[in-house]
Amino acid sequence: MIRARGLERRFGEKRVLAGLDLDVAAGGFVAVTGPNGSGKSTLLALLAGLLAPTGGELEIEARRDEVGYLAHEPLVYRELSALENLELYGRLYRVPERRERIGMLLERYGLWPARHERVSAYSRGMAQRLALCRTLLHDPSLVLLDEPYSALDADGARLLDAELAALTGERTLVVSTHDPDRVRPLATQEVSLA
């Protein structure tokens, strides 16, 4: 599913990622760990196709619309409601039976009662739950999650644990985290960035 050889990314003079080799089979679960500034977010943005490598090779066997990408920001319009945001993304991703899918995700992540509220009124945890709904809306085959547990409360974290457990083996997962113990039981490989 993913093959990287000598993957490198520079921002100007600064080299954020250098010489990374990575092989991930379909259905694999990669936990990406490392301190702040080690290049975890850059790696996920490269895998999502939002950044181009400045060196090395990167092959991904997934179309752009088969990638689910959770970034630090929720990537949703703050002045639209959760429902309006997911309707927009559902339409762009051509999600079949999208009303039902959106309703199911909002229910699962506890956002159904707040579905008509503008995202600007959401707490950080609610925005993160909405971002997870957006990421999983089109049932992506490659799921890239950049520190998905950040801002989630205990209930939200448990929901995400269950979601990851359900996706493991079914989808290819790359999850960056500062808490590797949380995902280690599910992960098939770990990439530690220095």
Nearest approach, Cβ of 57 to another protein (angstroms)?
17
Angle at 164 between CA 123 and CA 111, to 5 degrees: 30
Contacts of 158 (CB under 8 A, 6+ apart): none
- Separation CA 124–CA 127 (nearest Å): 5
Pick the binder of another protein from 134, 141, 147, 193 (CB under 8 A). Answer: 134
Q: x/- binding map, residues 89-118, to another protein, per CB under 8 A?
A: x-xxxx-----------------------x
Residue among 177, 169, 46, 13 nearest 186 (CA): 169
Between 46 and 187, whose beta carbon lies closer to another protein? 46
Q: Which stretch binds another protein (CB under 8 A): 18-26, 65-73, 103-111, 156-164?
A: 65-73
Instruction: Count Cβ atoms below 10 Å from residue 71 Cβ, excluding itself.
Output: 17
CB 78, min distance to another protein, A: 6
Q: How are beta strands 29-33 and 172-176 bridged, if at all?
A: parallel
Q: From the list 88, 157, 159, 186, which residue makes contact with another protein (rule: CB under 8 A)?
A: 88
The span from the CA of 192 to the CA of 97, in Å, is: 39
- Considering only residues 138-157, where is the footprint of another protein by CB under 8 A? 138
For residue 43, CA distances in Å to 9, 79, 108, 123 come to 8, 30, 29, 27
User: Nearer to another protein by C-beta: 11 or 179?
Assistant: 11
Contact 5, 18 (CB under 8 A): no
Q: 145 has which bridge partners?
A: 70, 175
- Does position 76 interact with another protein (CB under 8 A)? The reply is yes
CB of 146 to another protein, least distance (A): 11
Pattern of binders to another protein over 10-49, x per CB under 8 A? --------------------------------------xx
Q: Which of 28, 74, 148, 156 binds another protein (CB under 8 A)?
A: 74
Interface ranges with another protein (CB under 8 A): 48-52, 64-65, 67, 69, 71, 73-80, 84, 88-89, 91-94, 118, 134, 138
